[in-house]
Amino acid sequence: MRSRQRMFAAVMRLLLKCLRLGRRRRFKLVRQTEQLWHYGHLCLRSLLYNSFTNSDVVLDSLFEPVYWLVDHVTRWFGVVFVALVISLTSSIVAIVYICLLPLILQTYTPAWICWHLAYGHWNLIMIVFHYYMAITTSPGHPPQAKDDLTGVSICRKCIAPKPARTHHCSICNRCVLKMDHHCPWLNNCVGHFNHRYFFSFCLFMTMGCIYCSISGWEMFRDAYAAIERMKLLEKERLPMAANQTYYQTPPPTFSFRQRAFHKSIVYLWVLCSSVALALGALTLWHAALITRGETSIERHINKKERQRLQKKGKVFRNPYSYGGWDNWKVFLGVDVPRHWLTRVLLPSPHLPHGTGLSWDLPPCVTEQRAPLLAI
C-alpha cells in the first residue's frame, strides 16, 4: 500500500515538474518572439525612417513599378511612334500629289497655282527638315568627370554632375541639359540642342495641317456628299439585284477609282483637322513657355517657388528670362535682323546660344533683367 502511494506521489511530482518546465519553455518562446519582433521593427525604422516622409512619398513608392513599366514601354514604343508619324505624313503627301495636285492644276488660276506650289513645298521642306533634326540631334548631356564643372549639384540617380536647368530622364536613363520633356513621337528627349527643332516641327506641322484643312474644305464637303450618295445607291440597288440574274445586274454607279478618291479626301481632311487641333494646342503651350523663358519642368518648379515666396511677401523672378521678345530671339538664335529669314523662315542647323552648362547673358539680349529674387 505504501509502495503504491510513493509511486503515485513520484508520478505526480514528475508530472508537475514537466508542466512547470513546459510553462517556462512557453514563456521563454514568447519572450524570444517579442524580442525578435521589436528588433526587426527597430531595424526597419532605422533603414526606412525619414522625417520628410509623407503620404506623397508613400504613394510615389507604391506607384514606382507603374512608373518603371511606363518608362520602358515608352522607350520601346518610341520607334513605333516615329514610324507612325512618318507613315501618316507620307500618306497625306501622297494624297495631295495624286488626288489634289492634278485638280489644282486643272481648275485654279496661274496665280493660285504658284501660291499653292510655293507654300506647300516650303511647308513640307520645313516639316521634314525639323523633324529629322529633332530625331537625330542629341539634346545634350553633361560631362561625367566631376573636375570639369564647379558649383553644380550631383544627380542622385546617375551620380554625375548636374548643371543648372539639367534634369534626369528616367526613359533615357541619362541627365539632359535644359530638359523640357521626353517626346515619344521623336523617340528622343527635348533638350538644349534640339528644343528649337522640336518647336519648329510642331509649328510647321500645325501650319501645314491648317493649310490642308482650309484648302480642302470644299473638296471634303463634295467628297462626303458623294460617299453618302454611294451608300444610298447601294441600299437601292440591293433589292433590285436580288430579283435579277448575274448578267442582268447593272454596273456600279461609282468606279473603284472614284470611291478611293472621295474616301482619300475625307481621310485627309479629318486627319489634318484632328492633328491641327491637338498639335496646335501643344504648340501654343510651348510658345507660352518660351515667352516666359522656361521649360515644361521649370514651369512646375517656378510655380511652387512663386507660391512659396508669395507667402513670405516676396516676388519670384525667373533668372533665365530676359523679357518676352528677347526670350524668342535667344530661343531661335536670332542675333541680327537677317537671321529671321536665314534661321527662322529657312532650314538652318545653327546651334543655340551657350553650351547648356552655364547660362551667361546672350549677345542678342538688349538689356539684362534682374536674375535674383526681389523682395
CB-neighbour burial class of residue 293 (10 A; exposed 0-12, middle 13-18, buried 19+) = buried
Helix axes 110-136, 195-215, angle to 10 degrees: 150
Q: Is 294 left (phi over 0), alpha (psi -120 to 50) or beta?
A: beta
| Short-list 163, 157, 93, 172, CA closest to 125 | 93
Collapsed DSSP state (helix, strand, coil) of residue 175? strand
d(CA 189, CA 175) in angstroms, rounded, equals 10
Strand duo 188-190 + 181-183: pairing: antiparallel
Annotated active-site residue in 99, 172, 175, 183: 183
Residue 109 is placed in which grid cell? 488660276
Dihedral angle sign, alpha carbons of residues 90, 91, 97, 100: negative
- End-to-end, the C-alpha distance of the chain in Å comes to 106
Query: Cell 542629341 maps to which residue?
Result: 138
d(CA 245, CA 324) in angstroms, rounded, equals 75
Residue 257 is placed in which grid cell? 477609282
Question: Would you tell me how many other CB atoms lie within 10 Å of the CB of residue 193?
Answer: 20
d(CA 145, CA 160) in angstroms, rounded, equals 8
Q: Is 158 a catalytic residue?
A: no
Please identify every residue annotated as catalytic. Answer: 183
